[in-house]
Chains A and B, each alone.
Chain A
């Protein structure tokens, strides 16, 4: 087993698993962060109750992928963990504060009566802030972090970049789009109409910001430009932006017609393509432009130990998470029990 973990291909496999976890996190938590982002725009209290109820049974499982991603990074690519986390100290801390408020709002909102609007604000603002922080981290990753002697060597604000801001706003649009797609599928009546309307705004924001980020990254970071615009890469990679544009157009045209899950599925496809673009820009680094996946991986015996769990347990996890979605399939109705709606 340990011998098996010593080949040069091994870090690639673990990088793929890590990328998979990040993808699942972004797609799954994007859904409930997105519902949070559009939450306050909903016109009626009933809409908000329904929106919250639609994600209540699954948000916790979605957010657990964030912990999974963090711990997998520590276990498989420790260099990524102990360099990147200090590098993005402030956005990570503020993302955590935001997740605290939006997470606790799920429970406290239903308990509250007079001050329910405060928890509405906590939920929505928390979702928005967490998303912006994730964007700042993403932008900072593309720009690269200062490293000296194998440790982060910048200041508390060196994470900040214009690219990060652009990524943040783009993620807000993208998550809102996923959230709206989810609501179109899971709700009906006026709430569904609201979701379709907000999906329009989200598509526009997402498309504009994706274009801006794609234009800005190669301008700001020469390595990214070299990666995308050198031949033959240009020809090989051209399908990624073209396909993205195609999916965005299909999204735009399908909001009011076609099968209900369509908007959600296409929104997820846009994100998947965006992540492919990100991998192209960053490959093969754990810490951008400093530590490659082969240099940042953990000991073979450590990788062997975690491989066992990943191979056996990850499929089980995926299957019972899918089962949880299946139990709560169909259109959402407002619950009478659980977190404690007064009965």
Chain B
């Protein structure tokens, strides 16, 4: 069957838009679910009201993001069949069970406990509430695990053979789930979610510190988030390096596009920035640092790295897209690392809560994690092209026999609906976030006299303190 390039382009545009929009919410909710679970355990074990205030506050933001994730995720599970029928036919034996296991082990776990998490305080014990929060957090993690197993199989297929009709049959489930790139991709994505979550918490807390409100809760959250960031940012960079070297081994064409490397080279330079000209198959205006790419890719001065020209231009991905998305991701990673390190320096000097410029800086970093996640997925998905199953099935041969008009109509509606949703989410989330957590902690005494930390909420706090003590 002849499918037009237009139909393929439309189906790709629709999937890229809906999946790109979707990934924002799991990123937020994986990070925040674990943060809320941590807070609920701290509240359960220590009984400090500040942890309860923070738990309730971040739970509300989690709930908003979680809802967005659920509804945009349901879309994807049906879109795959509706827009990508030939892909579904080819891979259903392999990927169908993974999607089913995601629903079975992750979605149901989240859905079964999210009600207790959000509405169950007071109906169940503190310990049971903590357990529900942990189950939701585990559900979010399991979901990521199955989806990334499926995605990794598309990147580095294993454990299955294709028959004459191009339909895959599994020969070894272990190999089909634990493919060559799976552990790296999973670790990189989960760490990205945690890191993004840490900077969201830090940014929102910085806003309240800057405004001088909810000080006890905001200081606790700010400090916690920056400790987490300090561990997660370098970890993420190390994981990214491992993932990159795995890509070099498993998907050399994608890696060459990330590096902007056209010719197979011994001891390749790192191209800091350039304009990759795909028609001419070379870089324009390149700024190179000799041998650096060889050092971090092969860990040797003169290691050989395969270039893009090793395959015909028809088998290359869109190089500028992959090249620039990769630089955006890495650049953001460096900014986040620098912010976390700055926080450490300020902390050691005892100025973590006082430096107002740092509060502005952390507020500015709030959306960066999301941008990095979008850029990172662009690298790995655009870098896989022109294949939908790397090396086996071309994206152009995977679309459904549906009319371009129907795809266009639904794409336009998705675009309108998702933008309305995003605006509504930002509006409501900003309202919750800017209002801040409740202050039920008793005011603390610091160095001189009565600290002003929670002074505006003194009368309320006194009542709550007695309540908490009871």
Are A309 and B104 neighbours in the complex by a CB distance under 8 Å?
Answer: yes
Are B100 and A64 neighbours in the complex by a CB distance under 8 Å?
Answer: no
Residues of A within 8 A of B400 (CB): 82, 85-86, 89, 152
B245 within 8 A of A: no
State which of A72, A81, A151, A317 has its C-beta within 8 Å of the C-beta of B108. A317
A93 to B78, CA, bound (A): 8
A249 within 8 A of B: no
Of B115-123, B205-213, B368-376, the one with at least 4 CB within 8 A of chain A: B115-123
Of A39-47, A281-289, A322-330, the one with at least 4 CB within 8 A of chain B: A322-330
Assess A152 versus B99: contact at CB under 8 Å? Given A61-B111, A99-B74. Answer: no
Main secondary structure of the interface of B (DSSP, over half): helix
* Residues of A97-119 whose CB lies within 8 A of B: 97, 99-101, 103-104, 106-108, 111-112
Are A78 and B71 neighbours in the complex by a CB distance under 8 Å?
Answer: no
State which of B77, B92, B112 has its C-beta within 8 Å of the C-beta of A61. B112
Are B102 and A71 neighbours in the complex by a CB distance under 8 Å?
Answer: yes
Residues of A within 8 A of B73 (CB): 67
Are B428 and A111 neighbours in the complex by a CB distance under 8 Å?
Answer: yes
Closest residue of B by beta carbon distance from A340: B60
B402 within 8 A of A: yes
Are A314 and B85 neighbours in the complex by a CB distance under 8 Å?
Answer: no
Are B100 and A75 neighbours in the complex by a CB distance under 8 Å?
Answer: yes
Assess A67 versus B67: contact at CB under 8 Å? Given A75-B97, A309-B101. Answer: no
Main secondary structure of the interface of A (DSSP, over half): helix
Are A106 and B108 neighbours in the complex by a CB distance under 8 Å?
Answer: no
A67 to B82, CA, bound (A): 14
Residues of A within 8 A of B409 (CB): 90
A153 to B109, CA, bound (A): 38
Assess A89 versus B402: contact at CB under 8 Å? Given A75-B92, A111-B432, A151-B85. Answer: yes
A153 to B72, CA, bound (A): 28
Are B82 and A85 neighbours in the complex by a CB distance under 8 Å?
Answer: yes
Are A75 and B96 neighbours in the complex by a CB distance under 8 Å?
Answer: yes
B455 within 8 A of A: no
Assess A64 versus B173: contact at CB under 8 Å? Given A57-B116, A86-B400, A343-B438. Answer: no
Are B401 and A86 neighbours in the complex by a CB distance under 8 Å?
Answer: yes
Assess A60 versus B111: contact at CB under 8 Å? Given A86-B85, A96-B74, A103-B67. Answer: yes
* Residues of B55-107 whose CB lies within 8 A of A: 56, 59-60, 63-64, 67-68, 70-75, 77-78, 80-83, 85-86, 88-89, 92-97, 99-105, 107
Are A56 and B115 neighbours in the complex by a CB distance under 8 Å?
Answer: yes
Assess A317 versus B112: contact at CB under 8 Å? Given A74-B99, A78-B93, A337-B56. Answer: yes
B413 within 8 A of A: yes
A81 to B217, CA, bound (A): 49
Beyond the given A57-B118, A82-B400, A96-B78, please list 16 additional residue pairs across the A-B interface where CB-CB is below 8 A: A60-B115, A63-B111, A68-B100, A74-B88, A74-B95, A76-B96, A78-B92, A89-B82, A93-B82, A112-B428, A301-B173, A305-B97, A306-B96, A338-B60, A339-B63, A340-B64
Interface residues of B (CB under 8 A from A): 1, 56, 59-60, 63-64, 67-68, 70-75, 77-78, 80-83, 85-86, 88-89, 92-97, 99-105, 107-116, 118-121, 123-124, 169-171, 173, 400-403, 405-406, 409-410, 413-414, 417, 421, 424, 428, 431-432, 438
A-B contact list, 17 entries, CB within 8 Å: A71-B77, A72-B100, A75-B100, A83-B85, A92-B82, A97-B413, A100-B417, A103-B67, A112-B428, A151-B401, A309-B100, A309-B104, A321-B112, A327-B115, A327-B116, A338-B59, A340-B64
